[in-house]
Chains A and B, each alone.
Chain A
Amino acid sequence: MAGGSIRVYVPCDAAALSVGADDVAASIRREADRRKIDVEIIRNGSRGMLWLEPLVEVETGNGRLAYGPVAEGDVASLFDGDFLSGGDHALAHGVTEEIAYFAMQERVTFARCGVIDPLSLADFEAHGGLVGLRKALVMAPTEIVGVVTASGLRGRGGAGFPTGIKWNTALEQPGGEKYICCNADEGDSGTFADRMLMEGDPFSLLEGMAIAARAVGASTGYVYLRSEYPHAIKTMRRAVDVWRKAGLLGENIEGSDTSFDIHIRVGAGAYICGEESAMLESLEGKRGEAKVKPPIPAISGLFGKPTIVNNVLTLATTPFILAKGAAHYKNFGVGRSRGTQPFQLAGDIARGGLVEKAFGVTLRELVEDFGGGARSGKPIRAVQAGGPLGAYIPTRDFDVAMDYEALAKAGAMLGHGGVVVFNDTVDMARQARFAMEFCEIESCGKCTPCRIGSVRGKETIDKIIASENRAENLEVLDDLCDLMTEASLCAMGGLTPMPVQSAVKHFPEDFGG
């Protein structure tokens, strides 16, 4: 330990801040000064064990020791209990990485998150950063695309499209301006993995974008970040500055023939801008309206140029794939779902947080083994998986494997990996109504099935709730859902029926069945 100072980690992740991490850090500083102890406070990202936030860690000869959730008022007693030398305390959890929740995970994309100082390039490199990009910079674009394709990586934004195939399409387009657009418009309720990564390991995203740029021949990148994430915006902007100063952005990166720059753009509170064509419109300064495909963005995207649109997690995983090889990554997972997925446990759950696991883990393992059941102590009734457009899954189906194919077979979807737990007080008819209402609020309005269908859907569910011609109205609702599914322009209108129809199917008793 340099200079004899003791290193203490207090996360600066937004979730930790939301429960007082700044006050805890200030309190530790004050208490250390008062006791004349040389303490260095490092503001790391979150380890993802969010129920323990603010999670304070002390670096010792036996590894980093965890204390949490620490309130401002606990700090004096932590010092009294000599937590700086690993002293026991009611809030002590032992070695952070030995906590079962953490130890049972397979951290790939999130390997550095919560470990390092997010804006320290030295920390980043000391933990394997830049290895992937440096390899890519001496590889031919086709080789890079080949590795990504062979890894089996699929888009983590929700659609699950094979990343290598997308990159190859953009690579095959004639030269000239091409763009890398990172979709960081993480609007799904129950998801926060993109935010956590951007706040905890922002360089991994920049590294992935630079690899993508090299692979397809792009010279400009954009990160489209939602305005609801002020902390992530701040961290990403600083990260871009650090990279530019270090010569990792700009002309001829590290002496290669790749020149690439990245701009951070902030959305303005529109869920639909997480849909790629709407996001590109928004990046052009327009209303975020979905567009008809084809042409696909890889052929004609931003400003009509070939454009890669990838989610934060997709891009941030490519450095690992380049560094360790396609086979290593492909070894994780099952069937056609290769690699790991950062799942996010949310809602009424005892141990909410981020769980990165190979595909194939069951929903029950996530909710019960990791999550520890409902925070309220009430029985669990349902999980909504995959965000507001995902299905409600009843407890009897919790043995479903969490991979693209198994979930699709069960009439559900993985989406961005969100798992929202509801206890037995939930009224599924209200949840179905909310799905329609949310679509009404957030529809871009371009296509009729989504714009009007959502309004009619909400009205019809209101009639069902009011016991007005229930049987007939359930039939109308089903018909309307089919129409929205088949005829909407994008996933907003096309998938809104998924939570509605799954709620009706699995919980008919809430609809007067």
Chain B
Amino acid sequence: MAALIDKLEHAPARLICGRHDNRPDALLEILHEAQAAEGWLSDDALRTIADALNISRAEIHGVVSFYHDYKREAPAKLAIKLCRAEACQAVGSEALAAYVEKKWNAPSGGKSADGEIQLEAVYCLGNCALGPSGMIDGELFGRVTPERLDALIEQRIEKMERE
């Protein structure tokens, strides 16, 4: 039987809120930190944040669902962001994205079948003179070609397997 009482306490989230004096205006920062700790935002973390900041879970949901950065499910092992905005479109970002989708079997906005790779569209990484641009696990790359991207992905997969 499902629990009738919410499992409320999420100790790391509580600590993060405390570091921000439980201030509701720090909600974005709190969510960033909670997500950095676990890679995503769990129900328990959000309930604890709502409790600590004394705002409703509906308000938290409103904020979390509004911003593209916040994730409500565990991410894949490797997060690839490809810029799909105009400056990168002008140098072939659409063809690059189509290539990655096919080669790594990862639909844009989703994960590969094996759950290893996640492909996300972003709109501008501020590297518009050196497009197409991409970001792999937070690292920025410019003048990305299919060959270079494959090599970068393979390097990281190898590294993950070693670890």
Taking CB atoms, residues of chain A closer than 8 Å to B138 are: 230
Q: Is the C-beta of B26 less than 8 angstroms from some C-beta in chain A?
A: yes
Q: From known contacts A189-B85, A420-B87, A422-B90, infer whether A17 and B126 are also in contact, taking CB-CB under 8 Å.
A: no
A349 touches B129 (CB 8 A): yes
Residue-wise, chain B 1-42 has the 8 Å CB interface mask toward A (1 for contact) of 000000000000000000000011111110110000000000
Closest partner residue, chain B, to A284 (CB atom): B25
User: Smallest Cβ distance from A391 to chain B, in angstroms?
Assistant: 12
Q: From known contacts A268-B68, A269-B67, infer whether A285 and B27 are also in contact, taking CB-CB under 8 Å.
A: yes
The distance in angstroms between the C-alpha atoms of A266 and B69, with both chains bound, is 11
B126 touches A51 (CB 8 A): no
The distance in angstroms between the C-alpha atoms of A231 and B139, with both chains bound, is 10
The distance in angstroms between the C-alpha atoms of A191 and B130, with both chains bound, is 12
Q: Which of A14, A53, A267, A283 touches B140 (beta carbons < 8 Å)? A: A14
A346 touches B123 (CB 8 A): no
Q: Is the C-beta of A276 less than 8 angstroms from some C-beta in chain B?
A: no
Closest partner residue, chain A, to B85 (CB atom): A189
A187 touches B87 (CB 8 A): no
Taking CB atoms, residues of chain A closer than 8 Å to B128 are: 189-192, 344, 346-347, 352, 418, 420
Closest partner residue, chain A, to B68 (CB atom): A269
User: Smallest Cβ distance from B120 to chain A, in angstroms?
Assistant: 10
A228 touches B28 (CB 8 A): no
Q: From known contacts A18-B142, A187-B124, A420-B128, infer whether A283 and B25 are also in contact, taking CB-CB under 8 Å.
A: yes
B91 touches A186 (CB 8 A): no
Q: Is the C-beta of B54 less than 8 angstroms from some C-beta in chain A?
A: no
Taking CB atoms, residues of chain A closer than 8 Å to B87 are: 189-190, 346-347, 418, 420
Q: From known contacts A18-B142, A186-B126, A189-B123, infer whether A375 and B91 are also in contact, taking CB-CB under 8 Å.
A: yes
Closest partner residue, chain B, to A352 (CB atom): B129
Taking CB atoms, residues of chain B closer than 8 Å to A18 are: 127, 130, 133, 140-143
Q: How many residues of A contact B (CB 8 A)?
A: 61
Q: Is the C-beta of B56 less than 8 angstroms from some C-beta in chain A?
A: no
Residue-wise, chain A 414-432 has the 8 Å CB interface mask toward B (1 for contact) of 0000101111001000010
The distance in angstroms between the C-alpha atoms of A349 and B86, with both chains bound, is 13
The distance in angstroms between the C-alpha atoms of A14 and B128, with both chains bound, is 11
B69 touches A192 (CB 8 A): no
The distance in angstroms between the C-alpha atoms of A434 and B131, with both chains bound, is 18
Q: From known contacts A266-B28, A266-B29, A286-B63, infer whether A19 and B86 are also in contact, taking CB-CB under 8 Å.
A: no
The distance in angstroms between the C-alpha atoms of A444 and B65, with both chains bound, is 11
B140 touches A268 (CB 8 A): no
Taking CB atoms, residues of chain B closer than 8 Å to A282 are: 28
Q: Which of A191, A270, A418 touches B66 (beta carbons < 8 Å)? A: A270
A353 touches B129 (CB 8 A): yes
Q: Is the C-beta of A50 less than 8 angstroms from some C-beta in chain B?
A: yes
Taking CB atoms, residues of chain A closer than 8 Å to B124 are: 187-189, 191, 228
A19 touches B143 (CB 8 A): yes
B131 touches A270 (CB 8 A): no
Residue-wise, chain A 22-60 has the 8 Å CB interface mask toward B (1 for contact) of 000000000000000000000000000011010000000
B127 touches A15 (CB 8 A): yes
The distance in angstroms between the C-alpha atoms of A326 and B37, with both chains bound, is 49
B142 touches A15 (CB 8 A): yes
Taking CB atoms, residues of chain B closer than 8 Å to A267 are: 28, 67, 69
Q: Is the C-beta of B79 less than 8 angstroms from some C-beta in chain A?
A: no
B28 touches A191 (CB 8 A): no
Taking CB atoms, residues of chain A closer than 8 Å to B91 are: 347-348, 375-376
B123 touches A426 (CB 8 A): no
Q: Is the C-beta of B104 less than 8 angstroms from some C-beta in chain A?
A: no
User: Smallest Cβ distance from B31 to chain A, in angstroms?
Assistant: 7
The distance in angstroms between the C-alpha atoms of A352 and B140, with both chains bound, is 18
Residue among A53, A265, A285 with most chain B CB within 10 A: A285
The distance in angstroms between the C-alpha atoms of A150 and B129, with both chains bound, is 34
Taking CB atoms, residues of chain A closer than 8 Å to B130 are: 15, 18-19, 50-51, 53, 352
A-B contacts besides A286-B62, A346-B128, A349-B129, 15 pairs, CB < 8 Å: A14-B126, A15-B127, A15-B142, A18-B142, A50-B130, A187-B124, A189-B85, A189-B88, A267-B28, A285-B23, A285-B24, A285-B28, A344-B128, A347-B87, A431-B86
Across chains A and B, which 9 residue pairs bring their CB atoms closest together, nearest first? A352-B129, A189-B85, A347-B90, A285-B27, A346-B128, A268-B67, A18-B142, A269-B68, A269-B69
Listed A/B pairs (8) with beta-carbon separation below 8 Å: A53-B130, A186-B126, A187-B123, A191-B128, A268-B32, A268-B69, A282-B28, A346-B131
Residues of B at the A interface (CB closer than 8 Å) are: 23-29, 31-32, 62-63, 66-70, 83, 85-91, 122-131, 133, 138, 140-143
